[in-house]
Amino acid sequence: MMMSFRKQKLDKKKEEMIQAAIEVFAEKGYSGATMEDIAAKLFMTKGSVYYYFKDKQDLLFQMQQMLLSKCNQYMQEILQQELPADEKLRCAITTHIEYILQTRASFELMVKPEIYFTNDQQTTLLQLMDEYSAFYDKLIQEGIQQNYFYPLNIKIARNLILGAMNQVLQWYSPNGTKSIKEMAETISEYLMRMFYQPIQ
């Protein structure tokens, strides 16, 4: 029990540090940010940061692990909700867009993972992403079985929505007329249409 409490405390502290790092990366970019910057954001010494992460690259890797794991956790919770399949998918799309825009400085670094991560790290992250994709496959399949969606190619549909959602990082501006929540709801409305209307 004591070890479990200790681990929870450690995980909570690491998450706080990762959140601070996301803010620093947003301000200075990954290349421009230093461990000193992250420590200053947290009002900690640089040595304290190194106690949790061996270097900036390790921090980035653990950041990606945490963000992707949270995405999978969100999907698991959505799957377990007592909702029609189409509402689950709509919720998943909206949640995804809101999350990546709120933490965009980190997700933007996933565009070319080979630049930042070792082969083993890429394998770990790819497994988490494959797990995430599988959740969407389940939601789409569930929608087809419940007759909410027409029988479409699940893999193509999943790749289309994931590609469209992630592309939002490239063009969304926080200075635009829509808030993150409004943008997520609008995009989810557009993407859901392809599940209801068969392609002629």
pLDDT of 3: 56
Tokens 């690491």 — which residue? 14
Residues 58-114 have pLDDT tens digits of: 999 999 998 899 999 999 999 999 999 999 999 999 999 998 888 877 777 766 778
pLDDT tens per residue across span 111-130: 677 888 889 999 999 999 99
* Residue 1 to residue 145: CA distance in whole angstroms: 43
Tens of pLDDT, residue by residue over 128-162, are 999 999 999 999 999 999 999 999 999 999 999 99
Helix (H, G, I), strand (E, B) or coil at 81: coil
* Residue 1 confidence (pLDDT): 46
Maximal CA-CA distance, the chain: 62
C-alpha distance from residue 181 to each of 19, 78, 173, 177, 191 (Å): 20, 18, 13, 12, 15
User: For 34, which DSSP code?
Assistant: -
Question: Coil, helix or strand for 21?
Answer: helix
Number of alpha helices (DSSP H) and beta strands (DSSP E) in the chain: 10, 0
